[in-house]
């Protein structure tokens, strides 16, 4: 066994009901005197409560999915105008992503408070969308200095969105088994993430107001992001970045729908990874384990339900081919992409598209 693995420097607070205390403690530890709070318009109220104990000089509630360049520029300008020395993001991937866009050009540290299972808070990956193209990269400046995980903040997340967001975390885990830089540590983190998601997501569906299931899913989201940040972006995520940036598809739902098609496509060419994924699910095969979980939580089924048109399939093929990562377990042709996207558009059996 021989590999190199980099562990990212980050403090993690995990505990239900303790977000405000943890954010206050971390702001004090960092010596923050001028804090900018970043949230979405719908998340501004909770964000105000969570940051009541820190010296806020500006509240910015323009976080939107896929981080348009124009939104990033407005947030950067606000941070500069108010001489901000700490960013606190409260919300899902949109809020974290906007904070990262500010940190990318300013170096201002971030404390992230996730309210979904997106996982962006635990990675050094940033993404910006301009026109119909989403650009991503990795930079240590965008890695939040600290994460505050408080499962009680996810209680307001509706069950369908909880399921989609949790399956997005699952996609991080699955991709990490064969992504370009994967190693045994990444696969161990991803396997534990799959196990926790397979237990936690059905519990969230069965008891939306309970914390046990949501804590399991939030824990898994963190593990999945650690694995993904180290292993890199695999075929699944490259496809979904095209779908999100080019067609404006909702991030979590796109990941939830596309995952079974990429898994069915890659698994036969990666038997060791397939066995690891299957074992984490406690299933006879990886595809069967994912099918069983999706059935239990009533997962999103078809891209056509989320804004992707049949006419978009052909347009997307060359963009996806251009984004295919080196070292994918199986060569990817235009016909492969076309078949997967068409099947995902209509919600067909993934095995028929593999």
Q: CATH code at 245?
A: 1.20.1090.10
Burial of 16 (0-12, 13-18, 19+ CB in 10 A): middle
1 occurs within a structural domain: no
One domain for residues 166 and 140: no
Burial of 81 (0-12, 13-18, 19+ CB in 10 A): exposed
Kindly report, residue by residue over 281-309, the tens digit of the pLDDT: 999 999 999 999 999 999 999 999 999 99
Closest CA to 174 of 95, 4, 290, 90: 290
Confidence at residue 308, expressed as pLDDT on a 0 to 100 scale: 96
Residue 170 tokens, joined: 């699952």
Q: Which helix (H) or strand (E) holds 86?
A: strand 86-91
One domain for residues 74 and 167: no
One domain for residues 323 and 347: yes
Calculate the alpha carbon distances from 170 to 82, 148, 224 in Å.
Answer: 38, 21, 7
One domain for residues 40 and 86: yes
Confidence at residue 245, expressed as pLDDT on a 0 to 100 scale: 86
One domain for residues 201 and 272: yes
Kindly compute the dihedral angle of the four CA atoms of residues 172, 175, 176, 181, in this order, to the nearest 10 degrees.
-120
Q: For the domain that residue 150 is a member of, what is the CATH number?
A: 3.40.50.1970
Domain extent, residue 129, equals: 11-154
Confidence at residue 339, expressed as pLDDT on a 0 to 100 scale: 96
Confidence at residue 191, expressed as pLDDT on a 0 to 100 scale: 98
Strand partners, 147: 12, 112
Confidence at residue 71, expressed as pLDDT on a 0 to 100 scale: 95
Give the separation between CA 221 and CA 286, rounded to whole angstroms: 19
211 occurs within a structural domain: yes
Kindly report, residue by residue over 147-175, the tens digit of the pLDDT: 999 999 999 999 999 999 999 999 999 99
One domain for residues 184 and 126: no
Residue 243 tokens, joined: 């779908």
Give the angle 141-146-150 at the CA atoms, nearest 5°: 140
Q: By the 8 A CB rule, do 148 and 19 touch?
A: yes
- Spans of the chain, pLDDT less than 50: none
Give the angle 66-72-74 at the CA atoms, nearest 5°: 140
Number of domains present in the structure of the chain: 2
How would you classify residue 325: left for phi > 0, otherwise alpha for psi between -120 and 50, otherwise beta? beta
5 occurs within a structural domain: no
Confidence at residue 132, expressed as pLDDT on a 0 to 100 scale: 75
Boundary-marking domain end, from 126, 154, 182? 154
Confidence at residue 192, expressed as pLDDT on a 0 to 100 scale: 98
One domain for residues 56 and 163: no
């Amino acid at each position: 066994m021989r590999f190199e693995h980099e562990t990212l420097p980050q403090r993690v607070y995990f505990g239900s009901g303790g977000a405000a205390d943890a954010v206050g403690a971390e702001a004090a530890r960092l010596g923050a005197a001028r804090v900018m709070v970043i949230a979405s318009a719908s998340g501004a109220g909770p964000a105000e409560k969570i940051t009541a104990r820190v010296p806020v000089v500006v509240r910015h509630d323009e976080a939107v999915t896929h981080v348009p360049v124009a939104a990033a520029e407005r947030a950067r300008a606000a941070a500069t105008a108010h001489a901000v020395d700490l960013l606190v993001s409260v919300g899902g991937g949109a809020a974290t992503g906007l904070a990262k866009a500010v940190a990318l050009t300013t170096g201002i540290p971030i404390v992230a408070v996730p309210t979904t299972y997106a996982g962006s808070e635990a990675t050094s990956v940033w993404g910006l969308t301009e026109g119909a193209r989403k650009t991503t990269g990795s930079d240590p400046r965008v890695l939040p200095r600290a994460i505050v995980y408080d499962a009680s903040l996810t209680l307001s997340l509706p069950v369908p969105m909880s399921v989609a967001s949790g399956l997005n975390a699952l996609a991080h885990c699955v991709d990490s088994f064969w992504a370009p830089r994967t190693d045994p540590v990444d696969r161990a983190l991803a396997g534990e993430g799959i196990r926790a998601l397979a237990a936690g997501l059905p519990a969230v569906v069965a008891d939306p107001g309970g914390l046990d299931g949501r804590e399991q899913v939030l824990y898994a989201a963190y593990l999945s992001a650690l694995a993904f940040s180290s292993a890199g972006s695999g075929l699944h995520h490259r496809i979904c970045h095209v779908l999100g940036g080019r067609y404006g598809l909702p991030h979590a739902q796109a990941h939830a729908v596309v995952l079974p098609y990429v898994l069915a496509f890659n698994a036969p060419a990666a038997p060791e990874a397939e066995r690891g994924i299957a074992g984490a699910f406690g299933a006879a095969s990886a595809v069967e384990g994912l099918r069983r979980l999706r059935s239990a939580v009533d997962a999103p089924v078809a891209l056509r339900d989320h804004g992707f048109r049949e006419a978009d399939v052909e347009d997307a093929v060359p963009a996806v081919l251009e984004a295919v990562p080196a070292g994918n377990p199986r060569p990817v042709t235009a016909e492969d992409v076309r078949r997967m996207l068409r099947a995902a558009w209509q919600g067909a059996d993934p095995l028929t598209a593999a």
